[in-house]
Structure 1
Amino acid sequence: MIIELRVYHCLPGRLPALNARFENTTLAFWEKYGIRQVGFFTTLVGASNHALTYMLEWDSLAERETRWGAFSADPAWLAARAASEAQAPIVERIENSFLVPTGYSALK
């Protein structure tokens, strides 16, 4: 198992728009492509409260490349993403990491 950790740093005031896009649009596309989420989180205490952090579960990097690539190229997704940013950009930058559990991790 591989966990992809993604942090979306939003422009000020745009986190609600990002949350709405995930809840109302993105998750349906992920279901279509078999992308499995582990969880979504906002920052209670930390460097910025303009961030959305989430984790995805993959069996392999090859699976990630196939599923994420198909999702990312879907014309309907690209149109929905563009529509969600028609009035203003949402995300300033994205960080992502790929993590593997240790032998003593509760999540394996």
Structure 2
Amino acid sequence: MIVELRTYHCAPGRLPALHDRFTSTTLGFFEKYGIRQVGFWTNLTGATNQSLTYLLQWESLAERETKWNAFQADAEWIAKRAATEAQTIIVERIEVQFMAPTGYSALR
């Protein structure tokens, strides 16, 4: 198993728009492509409260490449994402890490 850690740093004041896009659009596409989410979090403390962090679970990097690329190339997803940013961008920067659990991890 591989876990993908994704952090989206939003433009000022745009975190609510990102939440809306995930609940009304993105999660449906994740389901369509078999993308398994572990959970989503926002920051209570730290440098910013304008970011969203989430985890995705994959069997392998090959599975991730196949499913993520299909999702990203979906014409309907591209159009809906563009519509949510028609007036201004939502996400300024994305950080991505891939992690493998240790032998003593509760999540394996």
SS in 2 for 1:4: strand
Unmatched runs of 5 consecutive residues or more in structure 1: none
Question: How high is the TM-score relative to the length of structure 1?
Answer: 0.99
* 4+ residue runs over 4 A deviation: none
Count of residue correspondences:
108
Query: What secondary structure sits across from 1:49 in the alignment?
Result: coil
The aligned residue for residue 96 of structure 1 is 96
What residue is the counterpart of 1:18 in the other structure? 18
Q: 1:54: how far off?
A: 0.2
| Residue of structure 2 in register with 1:48 after alignment | 48
In the TM superposition, what are the counterparts of 1:26-45 in structure 2 within 5 Å?
26-45=26-45
Q: For residues 40 and 95 of structure 2, what CA distance do their matches in structure 1 show?
A: 15
TM-score of the pair, normalised by structure 2: 0.99
Which whole-Å CA distance do the structure 2 matches of 1:105 and 1:29 have between them? 29
Q: What secondary structure is seen at the aligned counterpart in 2 of 1:101?
A: coil
Show the 5 A alignment for 1:38-77.
38-77=38-77
Q: Distance in 1 between matches of 2:90 and 2:29?
A: 19
d(CA) in 1 for partners of 2:71, 2:91: 18
Percent identical pairs in the alignment equals 69
- CA deviation string 1:69-107 (max 9, x = no partner): 000000000000000001110001000000000011111
Unaligned runs of 5+ in 2: none
